């Protein structure tokens, strides 16, 4: 028997349908919302923002900013840290700098703010090309 390309394929006398079982995903049960930790985080972050604002106010002093930038340009990390520490912030600040910018990271710690260790405020600013 030879193959005829113009011959219609065999069609069964009745429609053939694949059967699928439809499953619905299981509904996830979520625990009740508890905002206690979130409320403490908001309160603590407000304190961080206050400290960040204090840092920015001091950096807004041209003479102080010049001292920080000059020390950073010379790669004097210890001097930069001492200058930032001299501001008297109640949270620890980690300072990292490059020729084009500076990053200040303020973080919370429970003993200092009587809150929770929840939050980090990062201030990234450009100061060069």
Rounded average pLDDT over 99-120: 77
- Give me the number of domains the chain comprises: 1
In a domain, 76, yes or no: yes
Would you state the pLDDT for residue 113?
45
Would you state the pLDDT for residue 73?
94
**Tokens, residue 33:** 């919302």
H helices present in 8-118, as ranges = 36-59, 62-73, 77-85, 110-113
Q: pLDDT per residue over 4-27, tens digit each?
A: 555 666 555 666 566 666 777 778
**Tokens, residue 92:** 């620890």
Which of 103-107, 110-114, 117-121 bottoms out in mean pLDDT, i.e. has the lowest? 110-114
In a domain, 94, yes or no: yes
* Residue-range definition of the domain harbouring residue 92: 37-126
Q: pLDDT per residue over 55-100, tens digit each?
A: 999 999 999 999 999 999 999 999 999 999 999 999 999 999 999 9
More confident residue, 35 or 17: 35
In a domain, 98, yes or no: yes
**Quick count: other Cβ atoms within 10 Å of Cβ 56?**
12
How far is C-alpha 26 from the chain's CA centre? Answer: 32
Rounded average pLDDT over 117-123: 89
Would you state the pLDDT for residue 108?
83
In a domain, 78, yes or no: yes
Q: Supply the pTM of this predicted model.
A: 0.71
Q: What SS3 state is found at 49?
A: helix
């Amino acid at each position: 028997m030879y193959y005829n390309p113009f011959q219609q394929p065999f069609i069964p006398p009745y429609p053939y349908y694949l059967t699928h079982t439809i499953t619905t995903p299981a509904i996830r049960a979520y625990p009740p919302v508890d905002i206690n930790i979130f409320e403490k985080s908001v309160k603590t972050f407000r304190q961080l923002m206050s400290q960040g604002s204090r840092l920015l106010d001091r950096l807004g002093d041209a003479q102080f900013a010049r001292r920080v930038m000059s020390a950073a340009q010379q790669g004097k990390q210890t001097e930069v840290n001492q200058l930032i520490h001299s501001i008297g912030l109640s949270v620890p600040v980690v300072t990292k700098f490059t020729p084009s910018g500076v990053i200040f990271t303020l973080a919370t710690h429970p003993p200092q703010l009587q809150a929770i260790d929840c939050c980090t405020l990062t201030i990234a600013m450009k100061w060069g090309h």
